[in-house]
Amino acid sequence: MRKQAVDGMATSFEDGGMTLTTGLPQARHLATEIPGPRSRELLSRKESAVARGVGMTMPVFAVRAGGGVVEDVDGNVLIDLGSGIAVTTVGVSAPRVVTAVREQAEAFTHTCFMVTPYEGYVAVAEQLNRLTPGTHEKRSVLFNSGAEAVENAVKIARAYTGRQAVVAFDHAYHGRTNLTMALTAKNMPYKQGFGPFAPEIHRAPLSYPFRDGLDGPAAARRALDTIDKQVGKPAAVVIEPIQGEGGFIVPAPGFLPAIAQWCRDNDVVFVADEVQTGFARTGALFASEHEGIVPDLLVSAKGIAGGLPLSAVTGRAEIMDAAHAGGLGGTYGGNPIACAAALATIETIEAEHLVERAREIERLMKDRLSRLRDDRIGDIRGRGAMIAVELVRPGTTEPDPELARAVAAAAHARGVIVLTCGTYGNVLRFLPPLSISDALLDDALDVLSECL
Ligand code: PLZ
């Protein structure tokens, strides 16, 4: 139970939620069927105006959001268990972020950091250097999207090592650009028909405790043997400390440390893709911390800026500075409004103790979900506010994507935003904003148990 108020700005919850600016009622409310008539109208406009390739989880159009809810054009209020895919960790339109964005927009929207730089960018770099694991000297560089930052981490690792090969893992997701499509494992929908892909990308087996039954060191030996036999010494190993799109797969304890140690011993750059796991999402500021990993390069995005597009590569100064002047950048990288939002986001995480809040959410969700256990729930896993349920055919480990789709659809119809993921499409994943109240989470879990 927590009580708090930020800058006297708005509502505070007494049941574990955070402060809001929106004044949006924090309760699920269905005014129409889902989707309602106005959403259906907009959907038909979308179909004739927007390329078919852009999918959507729920065909409802948003007008407002905040705390733990999203309100649609028909007046339906939906519980948000998605955070716009792990982005609005501090909440949608968090008070400090809104103020910072407004003030920065009034001062200047853009100059281009590569033309006339500004303090916000430098301040975000300083914060990232301070907050990411390890006390060594660091540098940061800012971009717009997660994929763009992953690409740049690879560029930096290649410049530093003079090698080209890059190792990624089974079930990995790193983005949709050409290089990151190559790093991403899953063909449909991410790769099918979009090749040829970037060369020099190699894949190693992951630790997937529910499916391979291996302990961490054994899974690491298997991966390192593949790398040794098929690649030799790569420039970099790129890994999500907890896989996101691949199914919220938490590797067995010891797997990540063994891979990181091998990288250190072989002068291979260890790149942690913390795009989805970063910024308090998993009950640590960065998921690498759970096993004491100190990545050479850490990629962050999503939760970094409270909903504004920003991403970063942070890492060892000598590796980061291997790229020559002018070799890294982009017109919008580290946009001043996004930087202001990031500074406000970091302040919010620290002032509102959101790392601890993510751990509370983990306890609450795992407790409720474990009470749902039946023979269709193969695994309940994840950390912090990044929790998943892997669905299987009764009594087997055979994936059941139809059940995942059906449960998600039933939850949507009842006003709960739920996403699915996983190589086999059989994983329900929960990514609530840390600003959600306990009461809303409870209600969402009641709905899920009804759906199951
Ligand atoms: N690395 C670990 O999770 C983005 C993408 C969903 P961008 N994940 C959600 C979709 O269908 O496009 C992601 C990630 C990890 C990289 C990325 C890429 O980040 O900001 O979407 O480019």
* Ligand 1 atom 21 nearest Cα: 146
Asked whether the beta carbons of 219 and 262 are under 8 A apart, the reply is no
Report how far residue 202's alpha carbon sits from residue 237's, in angstroms, rounded to the nearest whole number: 9
Same structural domain, 340 and 394: no
Closest approach atom of ligand 1 to CA 190: 11
Q: Mean pLDDT for the chain?
A: 95
Same structural domain, 130 and 244: yes
What pLDDT score does 22 carry? 60
Domain that holds residue 400: 3-93+353-451
Same structural domain, 309 and 387: no
Global pTM reads 0.96
| Domain edge (last residue) among 299, 332, 351 | 351
Same structural domain, 53 and 158: no
Residue 426 sits in a domain of what CATH number?
3.90.1150.10
The one-character DSSP state at 170 is T
Same structural domain, 43 and 124: no
- Most distant pair of Cα atoms in the chain: their distance: 62
What pLDDT score does 9 carry? 34
Write the pLDDT tens digit of every residue in 247-262.
999 999 999 999 999 9
Structure tokens belonging to residue 417: 């935003």
What pLDDT score does 318 carry? 98
What pLDDT score does 4 carry? 37
* Ligand 1 atom 10 nearest Cα: 175
The answer to whether the CB of 84 is under 6 A from ligand 1 is no
- φ/ψ bin of 334: left (φ > 0), alpha (ψ from -120 to 50), beta (otherwise): left
What pLDDT score does 18 carry? 53
Report how far residue 364's alpha carbon sits from residue 442's, in angstroms, rounded to the nearest whole number: 8
Mean pLDDT of 375-395: 97
Mean pLDDT of 319-341: 98
pLDDT surpassing 80 at residue 15: no
| Domain edge (last residue) among 351, 375, 394 | 351
267 in helix, strand or coil?
Answer: coil
- CA of 396 from ligand 1 middle (Å) equals 31
Residue 401: pLDDT band by 50, 70, 90 thresholds? very high
pLDDT surpassing 50 at residue 6: no
* Least trusted range by pLDDT, from 11-15, 225-229, 440-444: 11-15
The answer to whether the CB of 244 is under 6 A from ligand 1 is yes
Same structural domain, 103 and 54: no
Same structural domain, 343 and 369: no
Q: What is the H or E stretch that residue 270 is in?
A: strand 269-273
The answer to whether the CB of 312 is under 6 A from ligand 1 is no
Same structural domain, 308 and 361: no
| Domain edge (last residue) among 307, 331, 351 | 351
| Residue closest to 305 by CA, chosen among 128, 107, 432, 147 | 128
* Least trusted range by pLDDT, from 23-27, 168-172, 378-382: 23-27
Residue 158 sits in a domain of what CATH number?
3.40.640.10
Same structural domain, 118 and 171: yes
- Number of Cβ within 10 Å of residue 85's Cβ equals 17
Residues facing 389 on adjacent strands: 380, 428
The count of domains in the chain is 2
Report how far residue 219's alpha carbon sits from residue 312's, in angstroms, rounded to the nearest whole number: 30
- CA of 374 from ligand 1 middle (Å) equals 31
pLDDT surpassing 50 at residue 309: yes
Same structural domain, 319 and 428: no
What pLDDT score does 21 carry? 52
Same structural domain, 12 and 140: no
Closest approach atom of ligand 1 to CA 145: 20
Asked whether the beta carbons of 147 and 333 are under 8 A apart, the reply is no
What pLDDT score does 23 carry? 79
Same structural domain, 137 and 179: yes
